[in-house]
Amino acid sequence: MVPDSNAFSPLAQRDYNAIASTHPTGILANAFSMAKTELGRVENQMTGMAGEFLNAGKLFKLRLQVSITLGNAKVIDLFVFNPRTDQTFVVQVKTVRLKNCFLIRREELKPNHIYVFVILNGPEQQEEFFVVPGHMILDSIDHFFGSSYRRAVPSSMPAINYGPLKEFRDKWEVFETLAPESTSNI
């Protein structure tokens, strides 16, 4: 099994080609295939971490106190405290590199969490943030998930679509509200 031409950066592809020309064995190809899988996992992890840190930075700019869990809390990415309202919020961050849907199951949604969907975009473009209270998503599953849950057998990869998120772009005021359903019970 030989990796496709898009599997590696140009430099890594050059190195692969140099090694493969002197060692044309299946073992080498399998090793590179495993490396590609590991690189994909690392890439996904980096994407998620980028979204969490960018989100934390934005919240700090808004004069909120933020604690990043760094994966130590399974369904919590950030704890956010607003000293003006004396409220703590639980935040889950979902991040993609380019405009796309966000893979998540409705069963994973919590009504008292705040969900921040982040589109990183290219290096020369600004990130996009969509801030949605969990209860709003749960109250409008069809609106946010489109056809993911309309069929007799739900999609095996349900996702929140980009379109319904547009109205929640930069809705940071969620962190200023006193609505009890948007705060955590820590």
Phi, psi of 36 (to 5 degrees): -65, -40
CA angle 112, 118, 121 (to 5 degrees): 175
DSSP code for 71: T
Q: Give ranges for CATH 3.40.1350.10 in the chain.
A: 46-182
CATH number, span 46-182: 3.40.1350.10
- Residue where the block lists tokens 């004396």: 86
More confident residue, 178 or 91: 91
Q: What is the mean pLDDT of residues 49-76?
A: 92
- Provide mean pLDDT across the span 64-85: 91
DSSP H helices, 8-166, are 10-22, 26-61, 134-139, 141-145, 162-165
pTM of whole model > 0.85? Answer: no
Q: What is the pLDDT of residue 172?
A: 97
Least confident of 23-27, 74-78, 174-178: 23-27
pLDDT reported for residue 61: 97
Q: Can you give the pLDDT at residue 1? A: 45
SS3 content of the chain, % helix, strand, coil (to 5): 45, 20, 35
Lowest mean pLDDT among 8-17, 56-65, 92-101, 130-139: 8-17
- Nearest CA among 14, 10, 12 for reference residue 35: 12
Which of these, 143, 140, 141, 133, lies nearest to 168 by C-alpha position?
133
pLDDT digits (tens, 9 = 90+) for 117-139: 999 999 899 999 999 999 999 99
Has residue 89 got a pLDDT over 60?
A: yes
